[in-house]
Structure 1
C-alpha cells in the first residue's frame, strides 16, 4: 500500500511538472502560508522583542507564536493538498484547536496593553484558515461573524480606558480581518479552480482514449465481420462445388485466399491507423459479393462528390449492411441506392430476405455503433423492417462546394 501511494505521488508530481502546476503550487505556497507566517513573525515578533513590553506577555506570546505558525503551516498545507476536489477535506486533528488557542493568547496579550493594531492579526489569520475548510453558507457566516465581532474587544477596552481611540480600536480590527480573509481565500480559490480544470483535462484525455478504443473496435468489427462472413460463404460454396465443378471450386478458394489476405492487410492498416474505407469501393465490392451469393443486386450510384469523412462513414455503413445481409437474411433481391440531394448524401440498402431466426441484424452492435458515429458527424442512421423487407438508411451532410458531379446522370449497375 505504501509503495503504491508513493508511486501515485511521484506520478502526480511528474504530471504537475508537465502541466505547469508544480510552479503554480510553489507560487500558491509562498503566497498563502508563506505570507501569513511572515505577517505573524514580523508584527508579533517585533512586539515580542520590544524591551518596553513586560516579560510575561512576551514569553506567553512567543510560545503562542510558535504554535500558531505550526498550525497555519499544517492546516494550509492539508487544505492545498486537496487540490480541486468537490468535497472539502477534514482538517488535521488537534491543529485547529491549538491554532485558535494560540491566536487567543496572541490577541489577549497586546490587547491588554491597548495595542489595537496588533491584537486582531493572529485571530484574523486563524479565522481565514478555518474558513478554507468550509464551503457555502457556513463559510459566509463565519466570515461575517468574525468581521462583526472584531469591533467589540478593542472598542470595549478603549471605552473602559477612556483613551480617546475608540474609532480606531473599533474599526481597524474588522478591516484587517476582512483583508486577511480575502488575502488567503483568493489564491486558494484560484488553486481550487485550477485543480478542477486540470481534473477536467485529465478526464477529457481519458475519454479521448476510450473513444479511440471504441473507434478501433468498430473498425475491427467491420473488417473481420465482413471478411469472415464472405470467407465462410465462399468456403461453403467451394465445398459444395468440389465434386460437381472442381474448376469453379478452385476459383472460389482462390477468392477465399484473396479475401483472407485482404482481411490481414486491412487489420494491419487499422492497427497502424491508416485505413480509410471508400464508399465507391464498398459499393462495387458489395455488388460483386452479393452476385456471388446468388443475390440480384441493383445499384444506383450518384457520382456527386462528398467529403472524405462522409465517404468513409458511408463506406462503413455499406460494409456493415452487406455483412448483415449475408449473415441475417435469405435475400434473393437487394437494392443499393446512393445519391446526393439538397446537400445531403443519402445511402439506402434494402433486401427482401428477412427471416425470424435469432440472428436479427437490428439486435447487434454494428449498426448501433455506426448510428452513434453518424449522429456525431451531424447525420443519421436508421433501419426498418416491413414484413419480409429490411432497409438501412444513412444520411450525412455533403460539402456542396465539393459536389462536382451533382447534375450527372445516375449510373445503373448490376
Structure 2
C-alpha cells in the first residue's frame, strides 16, 4: 500500500486498510479457496491441476499488483496506467484457470477467474468503456458453459449458461462498490486539504491588502515629493527644504501606520483567535470542540495566548491530517491555561515540534511567567500554554475596578 505517510493515523488510513482487505484481499482469498480446493482434489487429472496451480499463482500476483496500483490513485482526477505486463499475464492466467475446469464440466468454478480479471480491468476504465466491457462479458459468459453442456448432453444447460453471468455480475459489483467509495473519500480529503490551504492564503492576502491600501498613498507621495525636492535643490533651496520636511513627516506617518497594521494583525485577542480558528478548521472539514470560559486576564496575556492559538491552528492545518480537534481555555487558580489538541499527526520531523514557531513563543511566554509545552501521544498532538491571569504587581481586575469607582465617587 502506498501513500501511507500522507494519510498518517487518520480515519482515511484505516479506511484504506479496510478497502485493501475488502477488495484485493477478499478476491484473492476467494480465488485461492475455490481454485485451490479443486487443484488439491485427487480425482482431478494431474495435468490440469499442474497448469491451474501455475496459473493461479500468476493471477494472484496480477490481481494484487493491479489493484494496489489502482488503490494508490484514489481521489485523483486521472486514472493510473496499469503496471506493465500484469494485465496480459492476468488475462492469460484467467484463460487457463477457466479452460481446465470447463474441460471437466465444472460449471461453477470456471467463471471465477475471468470474472475477477474482468472486475479488475473495469476499475481502470472510465464509465462508458466500463459499461461496454461489463455488458460484453456478461453476454459472452453464458456461451462457453452452455456450449459444453450442449455438446456433452449432461442436462445442465440452464445452470451452465446462467451461473457464469450471475457470478461475474456479483464479482464486478462487489469490487467496484468499495473502490467507488474510496475514490470519493480521496476526492473529499483532497478538497479538505485545499480548503485549509485557501483559508491560510486568504488570511495572508487580507493582511497584504490592508498593508497595500494603507501604505500605497504614503509611498507614492513620498516618491513624488522626493523627486520634486531633488529638482528644486539648486533653484529654490528653501522650497526644497520644505518639501523634504514633508517627506520626513510622511515617512514618519507611514512608519506609524505600518506599525498599526502589524499590531492590528498580531495583537488580536485570544477570543478573536479562538473564533477565527473555529471558523477556519470548520471550513477545512475538521470537527472542532471548543470550550472557552470567560475570565478576566491581562491584555498581554490575551495577546500571548492569541499568538499561541494562531500558531497551533497553523500547525494543525499544515502538519496533520486531523479529523477532530479540541480547544480548551479556562482560568483555574489564577492561571490562564489554553490547550489545543488534534488527531491525525503524520510528521513531527520538520513539523510543529521541530519548527521555530512554538519554540519562539515558548521563549516569549517564559519571561511573562508562563509556560508552553507540546506533546505527541501516538497520532495525537497537544499544545498547552499557561500564563498568570494577573501578574503579582497588578491588582485583580475586580478590585481595580472597585477602587476606581470609589475614587470617581
Fold shared, TM-score > 0.5 on shorter chain: yes
Equivalent of 1:202, from 188, 193, 214? 193
Equivalent of 1:66, from 31, 36, 57? 57
Task: Give the Cα–Cα distance (whole angstroms) in 2 for the partners of residues 250 and 175 of structure 1.
Answer: 90
Task: Give the Cα–Cα distance (whole angstroms) in 1 for the partners of residues 62 and 52 of structure 2.
Answer: 15
Alpha carbons 1:17, 1:23 under 8 Å: kept: no
Equivalent of 1:154, from 145, 170, 175? 145
Equivalent of 1:262, from 256, 260, 265? 256
**Is 1:111 the counterpart of 2:102 in the alignment?**
yes
**Structure 1 residues 250 and 205 mapped into 2: Cα distance closer, same or farther (>3 Å)?**
closer
Task: Give the Cα–Cα distance (whole angstroms) in 1 for the partners of residues 267 and 45 of structure 2.
Answer: 80
Task: Give the Cα–Cα distance (whole angstroms) in 2 for the partners of residues 85 and 130 of structure 1.
Answer: 18
**Structure 1 residues 257 and 175 mapped into 2: Cα distance closer, same or farther (>3 Å)?**
closer
Task: Give the Cα–Cα distance (whole angstroms) in 1 for the partners of residues 244 and 218 of structure 2.
Answer: 19
What is the TM-score of this pair, normalised by structure 1?
0.57
Equivalent position of 2:306 in the other structure? none
**Is 1:272 the counterpart of 2:266 in the alignment?**
yes
Structure 1 position 270, deviation (Å):
4.8
Task: Give the Cα–Cα distance (whole angstroms) in 2 for the partners of residues 254 and 143 of structure 1.
Answer: 79
**Structure 1 residues 227 and 111 mapped into 2: Cα distance closer, same or farther (>3 Å)?**
same
**Is 1:170 the counterpart of 2:164 in the alignment?**
no
**Structure 1 residues 262 and 274 mapped into 2: Cα distance closer, same or farther (>3 Å)?**
farther
What is the TM-score of this pair, normalised by structure 2?
0.57
Task: Give the Cα–Cα distance (whole angstroms) in 1 for the partners of residues 213 and 47 of structure 2.
Answer: 85
Task: Give the Cα–Cα distance (whole angstroms) in 2 for the partners of residues 51 and 250 of structure 1.
Answer: 106
Equivalent position of 1:15 in the other structure? 6
**Structure 1 residues 253 and 57 mapped into 2: Cα distance closer, same or farther (>3 Å)?**
closer
Structure with higher Rg: it is: 1
Structure 1 position 256, deviation (Å):
5.3
Q: How many matched pairs?
A: 262
Structure 1 position 135, deviation (Å):
1.0
Equivalent of 1:79, from 46, 70, 73? 70
Deviations 1:201-234 (A, max 9, x none): 2222333333223212111112322444677799
Deviations 1:264-294 (A, max 9, x none): 421422552739xxxxxxxxxxxxxxxxxxx
Structure 1 position 243, deviation (Å):
6.4
**Structure 1 residues 91 and 273 mapped into 2: Cα distance closer, same or farther (>3 Å)?**
farther
Equivalent position of 2:391 in the other structure? none
**Structure 1 residues 51 and 262 mapped into 2: Cα distance closer, same or farther (>3 Å)?**
same
Structure 1 residues without counterparts, runs of 5 or longer: 1-8, 276-414
Structure 1 position 111, deviation (Å):
0.9
Deviations 1:114-134 (A, max 9, x none): 111111000000011111111
Matches within 5 A, 1:287-302: none
Instruction: Please give the secondary structure, in 2, of the residue aligned with 1:150.
Output: helix
Task: Give the Cα–Cα distance (whole angstroms) in 2 for the partners of residues 273 and 130 of structure 1.
Answer: 58
Moved more, 78-87 or 248-257: 248-257
Matches within 5 A, 1:229-268: 259-260=253-254, 262-268=256-262
Larger RCO: Structure 1 or Structure 2 (Cα < 8 Å, ≥ 6 residues apart)? 2
Equivalent position of 1:42 in the other structure? 33
Task: Give the Cα–Cα distance (whole angstroms) in 2 for the partners of residues 92 and 205 of structure 1.
Answer: 34
Alpha carbons 1:37, 1:72 under 8 Å: kept: yes
Instruction: Please give the secondary structure, in 2, of the residue aligned with 1:24.
Output: helix
Deviations 1:55-106 (A, max 9, x none): 1111111000000000000111111112222222211111111111111111
Equivalent position of 1:179 in the other structure? 170
Q: What's the RMSD between the two structures over aligned residues?
A: 3.1
Task: Give the Cα–Cα distance (whole angstroms) in 1 for the partners of residues 160 and 39 of structure 2.
Answer: 21
